[in-house]
A = this chain, B = another copy of it.
C-alpha cells in the first residue's frame, strides 16, 4: 500500500518559453508523468485492460500554483502524494522543489473509466487490482 512517490526531472530546452523559464503548461505534463511513474512503480499502468475493457483516467480537474520560476537544465524534485482515494476517482497532490526551495504546488483529480474505442466513456469503481495497492494520506495531511 503506497501513498507517496518521489521523482526527478531535468528541464529541457523545449520546456522553456521566450520569458526564459519553463512554460506554465509544462508543469501539468510533469505532474502527469510523475503520476504515471508512481503507478508503474506499483506494477500497474494508467492504461490497462481489465476483463476485456480498456481502463483509462480522464481528468476531472487540474490546478497549479507557481511560486518560483524553473530554468533550462535545472533539475526539479517532484513529490507525489495521493490525497484522496475515492470509489471512482483519485486525487493527487504534487510539490515541485529545487533543493530546499518551493517551485510550485499542484493537484489533479481523475475518474476511473472504461474507455473502449467507439463506446461512450463511463466511470467505474477503481478495480481492486489498483485500489488495493494505493491508499490516500488521509485527512490528517
Contacts and interface: CB of A to CB of B under 8 A. Distances in A.
Taking residues whose C-beta sits less than 8 angstroms from the other chain, chain A's interface range is 35 or more
Contacts of A19: 56, 58, 115
A131 B135 CA distance: 48
A14 B19 CA distance: 10
Copies of this chain, complex-wide, total 4
Interface string A87-113: 000000000000000000000000000
Contact of A16 (B17, B61, B69): B17
A62 interface: yes
Interface of A: 12-14, 16-21, 23-26, 28-29, 32-33, 36, 40, 45-47, 56, 58-66, 69, 71-73, 115, 117, 121
16 contacts: A12-B36, A13-B46, A14-B32, A14-B33, A18-B20, A18-B71, A18-B72, A19-B58, A19-B115, A24-B28, A24-B59, A24-B62, A25-B25, A60-B65, A62-B64, A69-B121
